[in-house]
Amino acid sequence: MTEVAFHFNAPDRVAYTCRLLRKAVAAGAKLVVIGSPDVLEQLDRALWTFSPVDFVPHCFLESESYVVAASPVILSTSSIGVPHQQVLLNLGQLVPDGFDHFERVIEVVGRDDEDRQLARGRWKYYADQGYTITRHDLTLKTSD
């Protein structure tokens, strides 16, 4: 069964996602990040600039097929039709279609009320479907 984790209280969802992706890719993970086109564009820009010494290889699902095949991080508006199904990182507002085909789902939740309210709905959906949910409260962490 798919593992589900919520990372709550991210002060900056995009910056936190960059750090999370860097750590996951360094550990050999393959990830799909889904969200709105605007959020994915922000993430793409941030991944190119967030660290002067680290680069997280990534591309959009619409990129050339050889680039997609070689990239450990795929940015997409949907989790359907992606090349790998190890980790799905959701920056979207809804429960992603096809999430149950992934080994893990990570939900990154910011501090604003709307984001938190939408996350509660996703949490309820996963719980109602019988998924065990791991909670990571980022306000309790002092460093990465």
Q: Is the pLDDT at 71 greater than 60, yes or no? A: yes
What is the sign, positive or negative, of the torsion defined by CA atoms of 134, 109, 86, 29? negative
Torsion of CA 28, 99, 9, 124, to 10 degrees: -150
Average pLDDT of span 13-40: 97
* Structure confidence at residue 7 (pLDDT): 97
Q: CA separation (Å) from 11 to 20, 39, 100, 137?
A: 14, 15, 28, 11
Question: What's the pLDDT tens digit per position in 90-137?
Answer: 999 999 999 999 999 999 999 999 999 999 999 999 999 999 999 999
Average pLDDT of span 45-64: 93
Mean per-residue pLDDT of the chain: 95
Tally Cβ neighbours within 10 Å of residue 46.
Answer: 17
- Domains contained in the chain, CATH given: 3-140 (3.40.50.10110)
Q: Which two tokens stand for residue 76?
A: 């997409």
Average pLDDT of span 57-70: 96
What is the 8-class DSSP label of residue 143? -
Average pLDDT of span 24-28: 97
DSSP string, 3-62: EEEEEEEESSHHHHHHHHHHHHHHTT--EEEE--HHHHHHHHHHHHHS-SS----EEETT
Average pLDDT of span 58-81: 96
